[in-house]
């Protein structure tokens, strides 16, 4: 039972539901939706829940994330509507009461206290927003609301669906996946508050703000309301006033709605000198503001005084926003080039996935956003599955840019996608699509992290659909570029997208990324990667049965349930063929996973490094890359930089290495060694040392270049070009790149395992998901590397309370010093550190200063791991050390104060 306060402006989410299939409920809707109805035998559900999420939480079905458990859940259970029923209490029914909601998947009939208040023909589409005035039905005490939710079919409904990312849940996510709010207020409602910002470029010296809101007289009497507001700058610990205030009397006829705007011309405080500007992570601070609005109405009998002087509060709102400018024109090559606050930036991003059951966990979401920032990413793309408000609040706080948009291969593109999945639109779909766009535009427009909306994905909308979207965006004062498609398509009104979507989506070699064709580093590639990302052994054992793990490394032709439902990706054969050809056939599960981490590290690193190197080219520069994907919504072998359990493997640390702020890197195509500087300021006095070694550690080439300088904002400088051949260099060899600053301190270190035989791609046989490889690099020499001797010592310090965006958490830092103690020449290749508890279970999430490093004899490195103290669950931390040619050992991490 949800207690709803009387306070005007309150918006109280229903705290949860009782749910049950209509096949099991014979009572009429009027009975089910009456207060006091007995729900014995119904299942509890949270305030945002799909049917399957509730059933899993209630123990009805086994964990669908393990093995093939999901196949045991009967899909027939979800072919009929389900009831979602809740009760709430109010003390004073004389205040106006509204139900405000979106996120119904796919459509619903809505009932309050036995009366139908909306039909499934109007409450249709996952993103449409609905406000139902139920004042006349609400009574003092208990009240009931019931949703009869129709089954979802994303090929037929403008909702949410899963494609080839993961095995879709059998309920197709039917349910209510956003809050249902019970709003209270007086006779005049306040809605649609937002702020339009205009920032002076390039100086950033001033900004003009225009505050807009709707005031709506819901009474049968004329009234003069007073709208007043303040704006204050905020920080993670609370608001600080900037002294901006404004007010206006607004006469309203009965049932009249007016849009009220405050601009600097009539509220001078809305012109800001030296505004606190919001920047993406790595470019500046994430400054935020808060808008507070209140509407008051005269108290009866108070005479002719205005509402502000004598009135009662009728409604209020609090609303966050940021001041920043986003531009994304097409460059001379037709590619989108984003700039924020006048500074161009390379979009370094990845595709975001929500939980497969659409369960919202704010801590889990924040952990993943913290990982994105740790990886040096600046952008996340959301193709459909547009997360709740808290996600975008977190993105604002973390400085992670977002690219939300509609989903491909479903009803959203059914009118324009030819023979692909998704049915053609009917007349009823157009208003649903426009209402969806209007609702999402109003919800997202003031988040500074949102830098565009993609109104198409694989295909651009036709003229009629596009006009509906654009009209809705214009009406919402949408402030950032509208992108017609994520692919190289054009829309009738918006023109060319400036994006491209050539793939690949399955394995290609690292050198592929350097070619300015297909998916290589040119233009803006909106979704691309080398496909599979096999997680760590710890994660594999949590998600797959022993028999499945055996097939994983022994049988490349075996269908992999945890890869994808798509027949294109049914197996790991392309990936496994490359792994065997380049590294040698796997000899065990451990050997397979170790080779997978090497392969994923080198490939992900190369993808981001290639796009970074080419970003400042005069011809066909790269402007953006979205790694497909950042994470999977379930336990997966497919498309992920970080796995379901937040463990980190080769893909994670390859991306982290490539995206470090000041970075030395090797180019697979022309053998150049470059320095890329993502910091704002230029750097000078750098020294680059490049050495080549046989796999036994024998040095065959060594060159040092001094006096290097590189500009800021993504500039690069070429240090040297490695010779085409080096006498005595083995077929498989290692390259060590070290960059030091003017004081001699190491600022970037990068190690490659290379071959004198190059991977060869057959571009003439490319298709939409990969380019065949006709010859492979020979990295099998890594198998002959001698065992390296490593020592590791670790200490742990419990830190002070660390504020996050939502709470205060005590963190712990473990410091590890690694040293290669060997007396010969053998390096320790790709040494991995895992923080584990007393049962050898990884402590997650964790942020490492660096990891998966390679050390030569006599070299040492000190690394830190930071994590929540509570995640140790009282255990003493330990460090598990392993590597390509390093025996696994676990050392204690003694605590200290």
The set of catalytic residues is 458, 527
Cβ burial 644-664 (10 Å sphere, 16+ → b, else e): bbbbbbbbbbbbbbbbbebbb
Residues 460 and 484 sit within 8 Å (Cβ to Cβ): yes
**Nearest one of 349, 355, 365, 363 to 401, comparing CA atoms:** 349
Q: How many helices (H) and strands (E) does the chain have?
A: 12, 51
Residue 583, burial from CB neighbour count under 10 angstroms (0-12, 13-18, 19+): buried
Residues 802 and 789 sit within 8 Å (Cβ to Cβ): no
Residues 867 and 812 sit within 8 Å (Cβ to Cβ): yes
Separation of alpha carbons 116 and 484, rounded Å:
39
Angle between helices 389-398 and 362-374 (to 10 degrees): 30
End-to-end CA distance of the chain: 46
Q: Please give the C-alpha separations between residue 168 and each of 52, 73, 561, 632, in angstroms, as whole numbers.
A: 11, 12, 11, 12
Residues 306 and 251 sit within 8 Å (Cβ to Cβ): no
Residues 456 and 486 sit within 8 Å (Cβ to Cβ): yes
**Nearest one of 574, 561, 598, 573 to 751, comparing CA atoms:** 598
Residues 676 and 714 sit within 8 Å (Cβ to Cβ): yes
Separation of alpha carbons 811 and 795, rounded Å:
14
Residues 442 and 131 sit within 8 Å (Cβ to Cβ): no
Residue 265: what are its φ and ψ, rounded to 5°? -65, -35
Residues 537 and 553 sit within 8 Å (Cβ to Cβ): no
Residues 346 and 611 sit within 8 Å (Cβ to Cβ): yes
In DSSP notation, 351-396 reads E----TT----HHHHHHHHHHHHHTT--EEEEES----HHHHHHHH
């Amino acid at each position: 039972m949800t207690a709803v306060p009387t306070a005007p402006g309150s918006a109280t989410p229903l705290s949860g539901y009782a749910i049950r299939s209509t096949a099991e409920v014979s009572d009429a809707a009027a009975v089910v939706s009456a207060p006091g109805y007995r729900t014995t035998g119904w299942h509890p559900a949270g305030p945002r829940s799909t049917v399957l999420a509730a059933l899993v939480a209630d123990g009805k079905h086994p964990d669908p994330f393990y093995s093939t458990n999901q196949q045991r859940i009967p899909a027939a259970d979800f072919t009929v509507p389900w009831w979602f029923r809740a009760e709430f209490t109010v003390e004073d029914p004389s205040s106006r009461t509204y139900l405000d909601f979106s996120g119904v998947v796919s459509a619903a009939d809505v009932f309050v206290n036995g009366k139908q208040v909306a039909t499934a023909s109007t409450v249709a589409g996952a993103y449409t927003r609905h406000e139902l005035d139920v004042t006349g039905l609400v009574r003092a005490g208990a009240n009931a609301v019931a949703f009869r939710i129709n089954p979802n079919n994303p090929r037929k409904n403008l909702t949410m669906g899963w494609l080839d990312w993961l095995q879709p849940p059998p309920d197709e996510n039917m349910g209510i996946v956003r809050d249902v709010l019970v709003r209270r207020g007086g006779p005049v409602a306040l809605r649609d508050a937002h702020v339009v910002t205009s920032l002076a470029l390039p100086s950033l010296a001033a900004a003009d703000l225009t505050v807009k809101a709707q005031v709506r007289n819901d009474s049968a009497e004329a009234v003069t309301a007073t709208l007043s507001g303040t704006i204050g700058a905020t920080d993670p610990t609370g608001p600080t006033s900037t002294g901006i205030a404004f007010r206006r009397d607004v006469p309203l006829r009965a049932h009249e709605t007016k849009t009220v705007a405050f601009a600097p011309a009539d509220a001078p405080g809305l012109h800001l000198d030296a505004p606190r500007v919001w920047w993406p992570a790595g470019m500046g601070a994430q400054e935020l503001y808060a808008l507070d609005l209140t509407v008051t109405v005269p108290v009866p009998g108070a005479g002719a005084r205005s509402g502000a002087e004598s009135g009662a509060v009728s409604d209020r709102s609090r609303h966050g926003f940021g001041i920043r400018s986003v531009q994304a024109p097409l460059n001379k090559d037709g590619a989108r080039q984003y700039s924020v606050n006048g500074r161009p930036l390379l979009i370094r991003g990845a595709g975001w996935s929500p939980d497969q059951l659409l369960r919202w966990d704010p801590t889990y979401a924040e952990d993943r956003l913290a990982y994105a920032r740790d990886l040096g990413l600046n952008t996340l793309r959301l193709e459909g599955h547009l997360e709740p408000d808290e996600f975008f609040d977190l993105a604002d706080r973390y400085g992670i840019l977002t690219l939300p948009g509609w989903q491909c291969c479903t009803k959203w593109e059914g009118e324009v996608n030819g023979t692909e999945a998704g049915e053609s639109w009917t007349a009823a779909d157009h208003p649903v699509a426009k209402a969806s766009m209007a609702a999402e535009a109003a919800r997202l427009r003031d988040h500074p992290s949102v830098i565009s909306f993609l109104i198409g994905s694989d295909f651009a909308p036709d003229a009629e659909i596009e006009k509906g979207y654009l009209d809705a965006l214009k009406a919402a004062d949408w402030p950032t570029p509208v992108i017609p498609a994520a692919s190289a398509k054009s829309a009738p009104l918006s023109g060319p997208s400036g994006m491209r979507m050539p793939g690949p989506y399955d394995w290609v070699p690292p050198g592929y990324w350097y070619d300015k064709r297909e998916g290589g580093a040119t233009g803006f590639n909106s979704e691309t990667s080398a496909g599979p990302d096999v997680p760590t052994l710890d994660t594999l054992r949590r998600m797959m049965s022993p028999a499945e793990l055996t097939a994983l490394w022994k049988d490349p032709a075996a269908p992999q349930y945890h890869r994808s439902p798509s027949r294109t990706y049914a197996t790991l054969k392309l990936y496994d063929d490359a792994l065997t050809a380049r590294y040698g056939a796997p000899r065990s599960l451990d050997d397979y996973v170790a080779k997978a981490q090497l392969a994923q590290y080198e490939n992900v690193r190369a993808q981001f490094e290639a796009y970074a190197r080419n970003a400042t080219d005069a011809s066909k520069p790269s402007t953006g890359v979205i790694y497909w994907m950042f994470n999977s919504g379930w336990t997966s072998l497919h498309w992920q930089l970080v796995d379901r359990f937040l463990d980190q493997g080769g893909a994670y640390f390859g991306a982290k290495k490539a995206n470090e702020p000041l970075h030395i890197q090797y180019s697979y195509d022309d053998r150049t060694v470059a320095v890329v500087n993502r910091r704002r300021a230029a750097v000078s006095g750098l020294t680059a040392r490049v050495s080549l070694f046989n796999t036994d550690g024998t040095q065959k080439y060594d060159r040092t270049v001094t006096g290097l300088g590189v500009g800021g904002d993504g500039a690069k400088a070429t240090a040297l070009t490695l010779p085409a051949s080096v006498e005595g260099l083995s077929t498989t060899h290692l390259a060590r790149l070290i960059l030091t600053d003017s004081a001699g301190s190491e600022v970037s270190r990068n190690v490659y395992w290379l071959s004198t035989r190059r991977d060869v791609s057959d571009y003439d046989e490319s298709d939409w998901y990969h380019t065949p490889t006709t010859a492979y690099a020979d990295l099998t020499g890594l198998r002959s590397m001698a065992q390296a001797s490593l020592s590791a010592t670790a200490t742990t310090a419990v830190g002070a309370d660390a504020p996050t965006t939502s709470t205060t958490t005590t963190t712990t830092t473990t410091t590890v010093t690694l040293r290669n103690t060997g007396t010969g020449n053998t390096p320790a290749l790709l040494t991995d550190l895992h923080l584990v508890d007393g049962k050898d279970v990884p402590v997650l999430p964790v942020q490492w200063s660096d990891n998966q490093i390679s050390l030569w004899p006599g070299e040492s490195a000190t690394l830190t791991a930071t994590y929540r103290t509570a995640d140790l669950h009282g255990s003493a931390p330990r460090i598990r050390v392993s590597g390509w040619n390093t025996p696994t050992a676990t050392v204690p991490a003694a605590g200290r104060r």
